[in-house]
Copies of this chain bind each other. A is one copy, B any other.
């Protein structure tokens, strides 16, 4: 079974377990929900710019925190009063556990081993949440004091402008110090360098110069882990999270193919950043590139699902859409499904999720949705391919291609189209074909969430016309429409 790797971020536990009595046993019990599921690795993330444990080389999240003072204390003062409550939960819970002598990660690692889960540490390499607020509690003093080490210093258009510039030796050394501490402090099975928080590590236009720097950084971590394997008495693996498309990864300075071919990494997670799950990641291209290596290729699923960047709100995946994405990825050759931001309060039926999306066998027989989305990460200046929304004139044909995984045998398949500028459509309004075969109009699609606010319509795809892998919707409307949603709904 390919299985699941699941990322637990550095704040979620502390926020959601605030105001509860926590002892070591209670802390460890968090792991148990993943035991005897398809989760093979828990990727424990202990840091953003600060750490949720008592780091000696970086700032712990509670640096500057006064447990006796009110929410208006200096550490939280930059936030609006209403926004201080949740951060304080994180800070206070982490502080209290530290006071109580409980190292959460140490306990989780131990419990993982007892429950048959492989424990990893996932280090965020350049987290820049809320850097629009220089005084925000999240930031390290080093980051605050050294604006000269940021990747863009002459403007502020986006959080990523204020990411650290790994072109600078001080930045690399600062991050390597945390790597060293993590390796020394924790006995994990693997260390993941999470380059996708937030994915931008060099001055714009200097990414090519960055390629050998990140490769050497990776090689240094690899050597460090090699050195610890004897002390630990077991292998210590190295992983990395990188952009979903090899050309974009390279364009951002991450030469993941070279890392794999030089045997520096054992696992690669390809993933969008955050804005949406990316349902058409080029798995087979990566497999071709990784051919001859033993690298585990994990397909990274984010929790949000947007059809296009300006889509309103924060719609999250359902089990059906997560199954759809996973089925397509696994069928294309992914060795693992990697869940990011699918933490235990994510709102999905959790046990179902954890028992299904890690294997084609457990997805088989269940309904699944394959929704057209887009890649949310591009190198600076890289041309972007974003298929929706798209206008289509009367008599012209719009085409949408989606990978839908294994061929559904004898089930029902619907092509679903959402139209932004329409409120009512009948069976004569457009001709829809799947792989060239005419699809009868069914009517308004009754979609569960996630779904758009504009109308969606369903068309019956002849089961015999549906392929394994890519399937193509071609639609020819009789008057101009603007498509904002495209999907295959599959009930095997």
Contact = CB atoms under 8 A, between A and B. Distances in A.
Interface in A387-430: 387, 396-397, 399-402
Contact of A399 (B204, B284, B292): B204
A247 B283 CA distance: 10
A157 B208 contact: no
A250 B280 CA distance: 14
Interface centre among A208, A251, A434, A471 (most CB of B within 10 A): A208
A484 to B, nearest CB: 15
Interface in A341-388: 374, 379-387
A289 interface: yes
Nearest to A387: B383
Contact of A385 (B383, B469, B474): B383
Given A154-B433, A155-B476, A250-B285, 6 more contacts: A204-B472, A205-B401, A207-B470, A380-B401, A381-B474, A382-B385
Interface in A434-492: 434-436, 467-474, 476
A157 B282 contact: no
A467 B436 contact: no
Given A250-B284, A288-B289, A380 B468 contact: no
Contact of A384 (B152, B385, B435): B385
Contact of A467 (B205, B261, B385, B435): B205
A400 B473 CA distance: 32
Interface string A253-289: 0000100010000000000000000001010110011
A2 interface: no
Nearest to A469: B208
A78 to B, nearest CB: 25
A436 B206 contact: yes
Interface centre among A291, A382, A469 (most CB of B within 10 A): A382
